[in-house]
Each structure stands twice: as C-alpha cells, then as structure tokens.
Structure 1
Amino acid sequence: MPLRSLLAFTLLLASLGVRAAAISYVDEVQPILTQKCVACHTCYDAPCQLNLGSAEGAQRGASKALVYDGTRTEAQPTTRLFYDAQGEAAWRRRDFHSVLDAQGGQAALLARMLELGRSQPLPTNAKLPADLDIAITRSNTCPLPGEFDDYARKNPHGGMPFAVTGLSDAEYATLARWLEQGAPVQSQPIKPTAAEQRQVDDWERFLNAPGAREALVSRWIYEHLFLAHLYVEGGEQTHFFQLVRSRTPSGQPVDPIATRRPNDDPGTNFYYRLWPIQGVIVHKTHITYPLSTQKLERVRQQFFADDWTVDALPGYGAQRRANPFATFAAIPPRARYQFMLDNGEYFVRTFIRGPVCRGQIATDVIRDNFWALFQDPEHDLYITDAEYREQATPLLAMPGQFDDIGDLLGLWLDYRDKRNEYEDLRRAAYADAPAPGWSSIWSGNDNALLSIFRQHDSASVRKGLLGEIPQTLWLLDYPLLERTYYQLVVNFDVYGNVSHQAQTRLYFDLIRNGAEVNFLRLLPPESRRAYLDDWYQDSGKLKMWLDYTKIDHRTPSALSLPGPDAKRSFAGQLLSRYAAFDARPDPINRCVNGSCYREGLKPQQRDVEQSLSRLASRPAAGLKVIEQMPEATMLRVEFADGTREIYSLLRNRAHSNVAFMLGEELRYQPGLDTLTIYPEVLSSYPNFLFNLKAEEVEAFVGQMQQVSDAQGFEAITQRWGIRRSHPQFWFYFHDLGERIRETQPIEAGVLDMNRYENL
C-alpha cells in the first residue's frame, strides 16, 4: 500500500474513533532498521551521516557535511554520535536536520525516502541499471526536506533502502504507522549484569588509583584501549564497554569529555570510566578486548612489579602526541610492549581494520596479503639496552600534529630524516648484536602469528597463517608496533585536512618498509637484496633512493634456510615450528599431500573443500576468472544434512610496489593476482555472495576454471549469484553475520553492504 493511502486509511480510522496501537520503537522499529538499514547507515561512512543503529542516531538525523574529504584545507568539527553533542537540539545547532519530523505539510523525510524506494521496485535478481551509481565514493545529495521533490525527480531510484531489495509489506506498514504517530524514539541503555558490574568497578578502581605512577600507566592504557569494545569474559555476549574520560566519578552517570584525539588535553579533572556501548554492534567497528580478574592481575604485575619512579607527569600538546616514547619514557618499555603483545591481534586490527570505517590511509600502503610476526622482547634492543633506547627515542617522533598545508613538504622531510637516522642507528646497533634466530620471534600465545588481507580501502586481520606463502612478511618490534598504533589510531584524525592525512600516509609507508627490512634480517644476507628488489619494482626503486635507508646485507642470520628460495624455506619452517600457535590451519590454500581439506569433516564437506582448492593460490594468468571477481566474495554452500558453510574468496591483487600515495592502478600486476579461499567470513564488507548446493560445487569450480571473459562470469553470476535485487537478499546477507555469531559470538556484528557490487 502506498504511504499516502496508508496514511489516509489511518486518518479514516482515527475519524471513526479507532486508534492505532502505539508502535514500539525498541521492539518494532529498531529491529527493522537493524535488518534493512544498519548495513549502510552506521559509523562515519553512513550516507549523509545518518546513523540508524540507535534511537540517538535516528533522532540526530542527517547532514550535508562530508566526513571523508581528502581535499579539504581545514580540519572540520567532529560529529561523533554520543560524544560531540547530546540531544536533538545540540545536533540541530551543528547543522544536522531531522529525518523524522513532518515539516511544511509534508511527511517526514524518512517517510518520503521509503515511499520513493517502494515506488521503484527492482526487477527480481537482475542487475541494477547501469546509470545507478552505487560506489562507496559516490556523491550523496543529502536533500533537506524542502529539496526532496527535486531530488526525487533527478533520482527516481534514490529511495530507501537504496539499490537493494526493500521492505516487506509488514515492515513498511510498521514504519509508516510509527512515522505517522510522530516517530517517537526510546533509548535502549545497556545495564551490566552483577558480574560485569564487579569487573567494571575493579577496572575503574585500578585506573583511577592515586599516585603519579598510577596516573601515568592509566593514561597509557587509556590511549591504547579507547577504541576497544571491551567485554567481560563470561559476561553477556552482547554487552560491550568503551573506556572514556568522564567528568564524573564511578557510581555516577558517565559525562564523557569529547576531545578530538584521546591524547588531547581533557581541560578539566576527569575519571576513567567504562561506558556501556549503545546501539547496534556493527562488525566493521567491533574490535574486541577481554576483561577479567586474571587480566587485571597480569596488568598490575606488568606495570608495577618493578620499582620505577615518575619525576613529573607529562603534559599534553603536539610534541607529547608526536612522541609517545618520550611521553611515557618512565614506564618500563618491557611492560608497554608485553601489554601489546598479549593481545597483538587487537592492536593490529585497530590500524589495519581501521578506526574510521574506511581505512584507505592505511590500506593504500600495504600488500593485499601478508603475514605479521613480532620480535621477542628479549631480542629487542629498545627493550634491553637503555643506552640505545636513549639514543633512539628522540628519533621516533611522528608527523601529523601540525597541518599547515604550506609547510607539508618541510614537515614530511623533517620526520623522514629523523626516521632514517633512527634506521641507521638501529642497523648499526643490531650489527653488533647476536645474529637473529628462531628465538628472535615472539611465541608467547596465539596472537604471535597474524594474517592480513586487504580489500582496497578495508582490510581484515586473523590469528594464524592463512593463505599461500605471501610475497612479503613483517617483523614488528616495539618501536614499529607502537609507532604504527599511534600514527594510524591515536593521532589520526578522520576530520583532519589534506596535510594531516598526507603526512599520516607518507609516514606509514616508512613504517611498512621498516617492518619488511626487519624481517629480511632473518634471511641469509646474500638473499636480501633480491627480495627487496622484488618488493620495490619499477617506481619502487625511485622511492628506495628518495626516502628509504640502505638495508643490512652483511650481518649474518642464525637461521638455516637451505634451497634457492630462503623466504619459502623460512615460511615452511615457521609453519612447522609454530604449529601450536597457528590458530587456523589452511590446507585449502597450502595443500601439500593431496588432501586439501580440514581434518574432521564429513565426506561431502571434504569433497567441497577438495574441489575449491583447485581455485586457490593460482595466478590469474592461468585462472582468468580472477580478473572478473571482486575483492571479497562470499560462497555459501548448503549441505544435504541441512547445515551450511561460508567460504571467503579473497582476491589478492598484485602490485609492482605499494610505495606511493597515488596511481595505484598503474602498479597493478593483474596476471599475478590470486585467490585465498577460507571457511570463514574474512571481511566486514562483502562484495558479492554466491549460494549453491554442495553437489553443485564441482560444476561451479569447473565453470570458474573455464571463464575467460566477463560474459563467462556473467553466466556464473546469473546461475548462483545473490544480487542486490534478489527477493531473499537480506536473508542471505545477514546469514553471513549469523555464521560469525555461531563460530565467534564475541566477534559478531552486522556486516556492511556499502561495497556490495552490481554483478
């Protein structure tokens, strides 16, 4: 029923004295928004900043201001939900306009958007019109209520939900009645359980303990956990907390202090508080960290078991932000590094997966797949050698604190030179240290081995060594890990100007180079130059000459890596020696004995994985279908026993180098692209989904092997693809998230469909 007809019917009932039952926002409206809207409308990349994951977001409304703007010359005011303004009136003063209020005799903007979407239904499971721009980089109009009619004329397919199967009749009727009733909203505050509250109290007591040492440690911990979705081990799986600075102490309602960065001056007395996270949990921002009595005791031991003192607490400001090594120098570096190592996956996720939902600042400078290892603290000279640490600390300052566009080049050159002076110091110091061996690689827990997969402007991190043996590996020591975290998380401002963002991107390029060069020290010295030349082909050689220091190609390695390919030999031994920490064995991509499937599977499941392995880890030059595929494809396989498995098919794009901020497409090597196939949802941003029966997998693989052009891939998409217009699109899309909930319930959250392609 069209909205106008529904409203007329509602008014008729009212005139006859029949009152429609009040619609519950919590029980009826938010579930619909979660099912059909949140997949696009959350975080900073929500179109028009319309965040529909909570009552507060719906009431805040929309804005024409862009969060992602790589060309702005001035930093813009921050607009973080729950933080930067409280209440509808405050957001109106920040130029957000209502989408719920009827104005000027017209229905609410949200109602008109829903009606426009319903008036233009999509053909069943057909491709969208070619002229309908669904790219994440599209320019959103964000019409005000008075501009809607013009918007609708120019964008007949611009209704909501946008470019996807819409609401059911029942959902539409519920939202229509709610809007007609004035769209009342109610918050859904999270109330901790008794066990959770005890943990909250214990951690707040610890973080707010009196004393100079305690204050410095708490400040460091806050800067390292401010982004975390904290959860109490054994608590409710849907309850998460965030660490904030509040004007109010424990026992009182949290009154958050909204600074641009977590290491900005709070400007007043404050208390560290654990604040329940409100709204729908979405996977792309859901970076979890556990709390427990055991964890708290370990943190106490790490930071306070040694006898150290603080002469004076450091202040705040640009110089303090630029060099956390100097700011927190009084805290034993071993404690700081070990705290990060204990949950290495969390820290790498913060800067790889991105704190701002669209992480191109980080991802432009990394390969599409690589492995990350950590240097053992006992073999990290910054931890063990106080004299070296004193020399190195001043050189570890990072750019981005000053954003004068006119001085961008000067700022960059100054920090580049400091970094290179540090690399020269490091190379000389390690040349006199014992040769690195297997003991140089940290192996304390299952965070020791990590795999990173990039999908253009997003990326994912998983424990364990997944995929084929990658082109590059990183070996992160404490200065590398801490600088990466501060540069890309603590100090990065998504609302910053072009100078700030450029400095961030350029310096991270140096960090990546440092992690690669650090790894090369594990290989025989005579092999290092060839690997580096392979990683920095073509224009990369110019970057090596302009911005990087020379590598150590003389000091020996203690590893025995026989054969012509030392890196492959290293990877083979790594997989064998560290098998106990390899959290996710991967026989599909690294099939060595002909059995290309996981252990413990039923026969039909084994057959599926055996078939899929024929597509894995093969270059696109011999598997042309890869050239047609998006970067993160999901494959849903239904088995005869009623179960299903979901596999990620990740396209690993090859590049001659990743050393430059612009012109990435000029460095593609598409013939070297490969697929990683793994039985898990490995992306927050699915690009497409295939659904098929287990008995069809062999035919699917066979057709994939035969594809030579777009027409051949179109036939596969037509047969098995779940397009945005599929009548059951939302069932299949949300089943991806349900699979995460079944296997990793703490990690579950609504996935993002902004990057779902029109295949």
Structure 2
Amino acid sequence: MSYRVFISLFALLISSAATAQGPAPAISYTRDIQPIFTEKCVACHACYDSPCQLNLGSGEGASRGANKSPVYDGQRSQAEAPTRLFYDALGKRAWQQKGFYSVLDAQGSQAALMARMLELGHQTPLQPNAKLPEEIVLGLNRANMCPQPGEFDAYAQQHPKEGMPLAVTGLTTAQYQTLQRWLASGAPIDEQGLAPSAREALQIVQWENLLNAPGARESLVARWLYEHLFLAHLYFKEGEQGHFFQWVRSRTPTGQPIDLINSRRPNDDPGTQVYYRLWPVQGVIVHKTHITYPLSPAKMARIKSLFYSGNWQVDALPGYGPERRANPFQTFQAIPAQARYQFMLDNAEYFVRTFIRGPVCRGQIATDVIRDHFWALFQAPEHDLYIVDPNYRGQATPLLAMPGQNDDVGSVLSLWHAYRDKRNEYETLRQDAYADAPAPSWSSLWAGNDNALLSIFRHFDSASVTKGLIGDVPQTVWLFDFPLLERTYYQLAVNFDVFGNVSHQAQTRLYFDLIRNGAEQNFLRLMPADARDGYLDDWYQNGGKFKMWMDYASIDNDTPTALKLAPNDPKRDFVQQLLARYGDLNARPDPINRCSGAYCSRPNIDPALQNAEQALSRLTSRPAAGLKVIEQMPEATMLRIETANGKREVYSLVRNRAHSNVAFMLGESLRYQPGLDTMTLYPGVLSSYPNFMFNIPADEVPEFVEDMENAKDAERFERIVGRWGIRRSHPQFWVYFHDLSQYLHETDPVEEGVLDMNRYENL
C-alpha cells in the first residue's frame, strides 16, 4: 500500500467525528472552523500546557476534548499514562477511554460545553484596553478548573467573567455565530490529513531507505540518528512551505501504512523489528514546539560522509532497557565519537534548542538551574580528549551514565548520590587529563559554522536559543565538549518523560545542575588560573558555596591558559577578542546592547528605525537599581515600532533576572537580586511566550524611552501602558499579537508558528 493510501486512511480516522453519509455540511471545519480556532484559541490551547489538555490545533484535538488531569504535576508519586495527540490514541472513543470528555457534543437538551463557554465569553465583553479585574487569575497561577458539561452551571455562577476566549478580546460576531451554528449542527469535522507533495514523497523514500538500510552498522547509525532527530520538525528545502515531518518508529516498512510504535521514550524497547519512517506533522504549527531541521541532498551526503566513510564495524547490536538509556556513550560506542560529535556540532543550535526551548512547554523546575542570560560555545573536536584519546575515552565512558531511569520515590537520594559521585569522578579524571594536555587556546574553540556561537535567554519557566552573541557580556558562559553536549541532550530530551513522577523529574533536575556546573568549569579553563576562583565565587554566592562544597568537584585553578587576556577583566577581554576573531560567524551583531561608540543602532536600516534603536539602547545593560522601570517589566516584552511610511520592526525587550546562585531546586525567590536585573533589546521574536506588547510610532520612541527612564513607580508605568500598551482587552489585540507571527513569516518563514499567550500579563 502506498504512502498516499496511508495518508488517506489517516484522514478518514481523524474525521471520525464527522456526521454520517449525506450532503456536505454548510459549514466546513477545515474552511470555516479551524481558521477561527487558529486565530483565537490555539495561542492558549496547544502543547502539554494547554488548559484542560484541550488542544484546538487540529480536528483530532477538538474531537478528543478535555481532561481534568494536568500533564504538569511535580508531586505525583506514579507516572501518568502519556496523552500525546496523534500518538497515544486516535479517534474520540479511544481518547474517552483515557479520561477525555467531549466539548463538542450536546448533552440532551443542553448545548455543547464549548457552545456554553463561548456564550459566557460573548455575553461579558471586556472594557477596551482596560486592565482586567483582579479576580480573573491568569498564567501559571490559574487553577486547572476543567468543568465537565454537568458542572458548567456552577462554573459560570462562580466565574461569570471567565468564558472563552479567556480574558482577552473575543470572537467577532461573525466568528461566534459560525462556531455556534457548527456546534448546533453536531460539530462535523471534515479535516484531511496533511499529505506530502510528489517531490516530498520521493525524498521521503530516499531518507527512509537510508535509515532502514540492512546491516548492523547501518542499523546502529539509524538508531542513533533517530534518537537525535525525533523531536525535529523536518522540512525539505525544495518542499512545500508549511510542510513538516517527524521521524517515528513503525512496525511496517516503506510503502505500507505506518504502524506507530508509541513508546514513552524514543529509546524504549520497541518489542519488534523497527522501521524508521517520516510522517507529516499534523495540525497548526505552534512556535513553542517548532524545532526545525532541514533535509537536503547535501545533508544526506554529510551523514554518509560522517558515518559510513570509515571501516569501523559493529560486532553486536546493543539492546534496550534502563542501562542502555542511562549511558548512550556505551550504547553507541561502536560509532566513531568524531562522527557523533561533528554531527551535533553541525547542528548545534537545533540540539541546544531541544533541551533549552522545548517542546515540554513548561519547566520552571528545570529552567531555574540556568541563568537568565548566557552564551554557549563548543570545544573543537581535535581538542576534545574524548574524541582523540582512546585510553581517556575508555576510562571516561563508564562514568558518563545519567540518572532518571529508576523512578522509585524512596530511592531518590541514594540514586542522586551515586550518580553525583560518578559524575565527580569523571570531572576529576577530566581535570587531570586536560592538565597534561596542551593549554587551551583559540584553536580549542569550534568555529565550523554559524552554530558555533549561541545566546540563551531564560524567561522564568521557558527559555529560547538564538544564533550569535546577543546582549552585554553575560555573567556566565558555557563551554560544551562532546560528553557534556550529549549528556545534556539525553538527560533533558531523549530520557526526559514529561508524564513521569516526582522521582524522575527530581533526578533530571538535579543532574542538570551538574551539567551546568560542568559547562562553567570547562569555560573557566580558558580564563587565567588566578582569576577562576573569583569568577566561581561570583557565580555561587551565599548558599552556593555550600553547594560547591557538597556536590561539585573542585576546579583546576593551577593549569594555565594559553590565551593572553587582560588581567583586570579577562572575561570581557575574552569576549572582545572572540568577537574580533569570529565576527564572521556571529549571525547577530549587536550594537544596541554592546554600544562601543556614539552609534548604537544597526547600519543600513530605515533612518527612523536607526533613531529608535539609538534611543532604545539607553534601556539596555543598566541595572535595575538605576533603572527602576525594570522592576515593573515582565520577562519577555515585544516592541512593535511603526515608521511613518507604514513599515514596522519588532523587537524583544527581555528582562534578565539576577540571582546569587542557581544551584538549588527550590527557593529561587530567596536567591533573587532584583537590583542587579538588566534588560536586553534585540530585533526579532526571542520568545515563544510574549508577556506583553507595546506599539509605538517611531517618532515617539524617544518619548517612550524618557518615560521609561522616569517610571520609578507603578503609577508612572501605568501611564506608559495606557498610552502605548496592547492589553489583552485591546480591540486590535489579535491583529497585533498575530503580527508577531507574520513578522517571523517575513523574516524567517521556516520558523513561523503561532505564539503562546498563556503568559500574557495583565499590566
């Protein structure tokens, strides 16, 4: 059976909620309903953090309905059964057996739950661009209420202003009437599954043939590649715009319908022969889960060159199970380490995105292990002892195992101590080995392409990754080598189970703390030996010193560096030399935040925008102690600057919160240093979760900046919000909000996706 036949069968399955045979309905789900959901609902109802698990990005999600059980529960003692859309069930009946209930079906004489929620919202419109009533709880503090149809009346009585869409400018009258007519007619769904074009189908066969080639060596490489690309939204450079695909494991080979193996993790035992298959990503593309990766003839040639050019052999294929998950270095040790590391370096932004940005969608317990702003660099393969020294690799490999495979709650501490000690033994081994190696120099840093320099911004419980060095010199810099990059990826992407219990999640978080510490220690080797303790003391202030003594290996503060750095501020001098040496790789030059002269704007842009950037640069790289407005600002604010000729530029104004240390799982607020907060401003959309927007005519930007500099209290900031802010109740809220996605479409169309507004604040 052909791939097209499979897609046709798939389309029939996901339209199981459609009405029986008869004339086509007057309202089409595909033509009329999904566009409304995409415009007004998907910004909240997507991914695992969708309220009540109601995902409105596809007909399958709408038909599936809602579920009272939250995906994010950091206290559960038992792992939950996964509820991944399109993976863990298919069709309304199958989902109802997993605890979901319909929001589309009428209940006797009562209208559908969605109809009543929409009616409640339509009856209580918001006052235009006014601050919302305080009793409406928003964001991560909102309880997961999820009334079932029989509980709606009580919900409406207790929350009369909280219909749908929640606390935001709602549906137009035409949209409301269309949805109500559709629901009253039985909510038929005629959605067709996305199918590849003829050109894409040909390339799909070529890639599937590569990963399913016979032979032990080919099978091991395919397994490693699958485990490293399973999160990717893959696209063909000559393919259709908006068409993305994912690698899945199937029981059936190319040419037959995909029979999905829906294991919890991509490296769980499949229990049968595996075929790696590409299937289309279904539903609306949302930015927070959209981690893109291109497929092309050049990419295929690169893979063949890296993995199949040598004469290495596989004696026996490794099995599956907890030990294999815990240590991928042993599982895949037959594959040359050089090939594995180089593949990850070629695509470093993708890999860092997988464990920093998503697609878990919510992770404050994980993100509070990282600073709000830091840069990532990578060690050159030829200077990585794990790559070039087989004896060192043999000693290191057994020490690189990671926790989280045993989720026994009673064993958390003993497991943690065992893996901590193993990791520290590795750090000691690494430190001794590198002390005997040539001192680190500029050639120690990988500079192969524009993935070599990355910026990471944390926005409380989410984070983003961007090519290039953005912002002022950060407090910390990470330096990845292969063992660190691979462990980070496996610990936070491959082995992490969002449906896991408290033990699994705690072990993952605790080990991530060690990973951060390892990346910092790697970077410190580039600094002068006598400066390292000072930097470490700055990164681990107050209780952080106790954590250093209790859990971390000692740093090497004796072995010299070969870099010639200014003794008064070696880190800043390092950054200046780095930018000078690798400026051609820095995809994001940043004169706004690192203004070294009179001109603090980008060259060769509209003069009105140059003037705006020059003014806005006064808000950057200043501590909150001297710029009080920072205390009023959310983590990720979008500025939309309009020029007189009708053009606009979008900027991200990111708040970087300061902490005495980030070494503990709990008590983040106790380590917060608000007076040291700063802001970074950069063109583009640097977060999937905008917290607020300002729309400012370019000629008013100097006045906006002056008001921000003088906004020393909430009352003065309120006047700024009232004049330029786009509140949730703004009549044109959705126009401005979706213009951020339109901006992505214009500047980097592959990255376009619907942004999330769950964190949009009530300023």
Amino acid in the other structure paired with 1:629: M
Q: What displacement does 1:711 show? A: 1.0
Name the structure 2 match of 1:298. 302
How do residues 180-329 of structure 1 correspond to structure 2 at under 5 angstroms? 180-329=184-333
Decide whether the 8 Å contact of 2:70 with 2:144 is kept in 1: no
Match of 1:480 among 481, 484, 490: 484
Distance 2:630 2:394 in 1: 50
- Listed one character per residue, the Cα deviations across residues 625-656 of structure 1 (whole Å, up to 9, x for unaligned) are 00110000001111011100111100000110
Distance 1:128 1:60 in 2: 31
The reply on whether 1:491 has 2:471 as its aligned counterpart is no
- Listed one character per residue, the Cα deviations across residues 25-75 of structure 1 (whole Å, up to 9, x for unaligned) are 000000000000000001100000000000000000000111000000000
Name the structure 2 match of 1:9. none
The reply on whether 1:695 has 2:713 as its aligned counterpart is no
Q: What displacement does 1:360 show? A: 2.3
Distance 1:20 1:147 in 2: 34
Amino acid in the other structure paired with 2:723: R
Consecutive unaligned residues of structure 1, counting only runs of 5 or more, are 1-18
Q: What displacement does 1:191 show? A: 1.9
Match of 1:733 among 737, 757, 760: 737
Q: What displacement does 1:381 show? A: 0.3
Decide whether the 8 Å contact of 2:637 with 2:692 is kept in 1: yes
Q: What displacement does 1:697 show? A: 0.4
Q: What displacement does 1:235 show? A: 1.6
Distance 2:667 2:243 in 1: 43
Name the structure 2 match of 1:442. 446
Q: Using a 3 Å threshold, how does the CA distance of structure 1 residues 245 and 21 change in structure 2: closer, same or farther?
A: closer
Decide whether the 8 Å contact of 1:188 with 1:278 is kept in 2: no
How do residues 482-561 of structure 1 correspond to structure 2 at under 5 angstroms? 482-561=486-565
Match of 1:118 among 116, 122, 130: 122
Distance 1:251 1:157 in 2: 53
Match of 2:93 among 77, 89, 93: 89
Distance 2:297 2:603 in 1: 35
- Listed one character per residue, the Cα deviations across residues 255-288 of structure 1 (whole Å, up to 9, x for unaligned) are 2111000000111222100010000000000000
- Listed one character per residue, the Cα deviations across residues 646-674 of structure 1 (whole Å, up to 9, x for unaligned) are 11100000110000000001111111110
How do residues 291-440 of structure 1 correspond to structure 2 at under 5 angstroms? 291-440=295-444
The alignment partner of 2:600 has SS state of coil
The alignment partner of 1:183 has SS state of coil
Q: What displacement does 1:138 show? A: 1.7
Match of 1:161 among 147, 161, 165: 165
Distance 1:20 1:166 in 2: 29
Distance 1:377 1:616 in 2: 36
Distance 2:242 2:139 in 1: 32
Name the structure 2 match of 1:66. 70
Decide whether the 8 Å contact of 1:352 with 1:359 is kept in 2: no
The alignment partner of 1:274 has SS state of strand
Decide whether the 8 Å contact of 2:619 with 2:709 is kept in 1: yes
Name the structure 2 match of 1:8. none
Distance 2:640 2:760 in 1: 16
Amino acid in the other structure paired with 1:587: P
**Further displaced range: 710-719 or 747-756:** 710-719
The alignment partner of 1:676 has SS state of strand
Name the structure 2 match of 1:652. 656
Name the structure 1 match of 2:16. none
Match of 2:54 among 45, 50, 57: 50
Decide whether the 8 Å contact of 1:376 with 1:439 is kept in 2: yes
Q: What displacement does 1:234 show? A: 2.4
Name the structure 2 match of 1:707. 711
Match of 1:750 among 748, 754, 759: 754
The reply on whether 1:23 has 2:39 as its aligned counterpart is no
- Listed one character per residue, the Cα deviations across residues 200-240 of structure 1 (whole Å, up to 9, x for unaligned) are 11110000000000000000000000000000012222000
Distance 2:149 2:484 in 1: 50
Q: What displacement does 1:252 show? A: 2.0
Decide whether the 8 Å contact of 1:22 with 1:181 is kept in 2: no
The alignment partner of 1:136 has SS state of helix
Q: Using a 3 Å threshold, how does the CA distance of structure 1 residues 361 and 188 change in structure 2: closer, same or farther?
A: farther
Q: What displacement does 1:20 show? A: 12
Distance 1:625 1:582 in 2: 31
Decide whether the 8 Å contact of 1:634 with 1:649 is kept in 2: yes
Name the structure 2 match of 1:5. none
Distance 2:141 2:116 in 1: 24
Distance 1:442 1:644 in 2: 37
Name the structure 2 match of 1:461. 465
Q: What displacement does 1:354 show? A: 2.1
- Listed one character per residue, the Cα deviations across residues 358-386 of structure 1 (whole Å, up to 9, x for unaligned) are 13243110000000000000000000000
Distance 2:493 2:606 in 1: 43
Distance 2:396 2:142 in 1: 45
Distance 1:602 1:750 in 2: 28
Distance 1:643 1:717 in 2: 22
Name the structure 2 match of 1:567. 571
The reply on whether 1:631 has 2:648 as its aligned counterpart is no
The alignment partner of 2:139 has SS state of coil
The reply on whether 1:35 has 2:36 as its aligned counterpart is no
Decide whether the 8 Å contact of 1:199 with 1:293 is kept in 2: no
Q: What displacement does 1:98 show? A: 0.4
How do residues 595-674 of structure 1 correspond to structure 2 at under 5 angstroms? 595-674=599-678
Q: Count how many residue pairs are aligned between Structure 1 and Structure 2.
A: 741
The alignment partner of 1:172 has SS state of helix
Query: % of aligned pairs identical?
Result: 70
Name the structure 1 match of 2:725. 721
Amino acid in the other structure paired with 1:670: P
Distance 2:25 2:108 in 1: 26
The alignment partner of 1:289 has SS state of strand
Distance 1:570 1:296 in 2: 37
The alignment partner of 1:625 has SS state of helix
Distance 1:359 1:215 in 2: 34
Amino acid in the other structure paired with 1:421: E
**Further displaced range: 393-402 or 194-203:** 194-203
- Give me the TM-score of the superposition, normalised by structure 1: 0.97
**Further displaced range: 358-367 or 583-592:** 358-367
The alignment partner of 1:648 has SS state of strand
Decide whether the 8 Å contact of 1:352 with 1:362 is kept in 2: no
Distance 1:302 1:360 in 2: 37
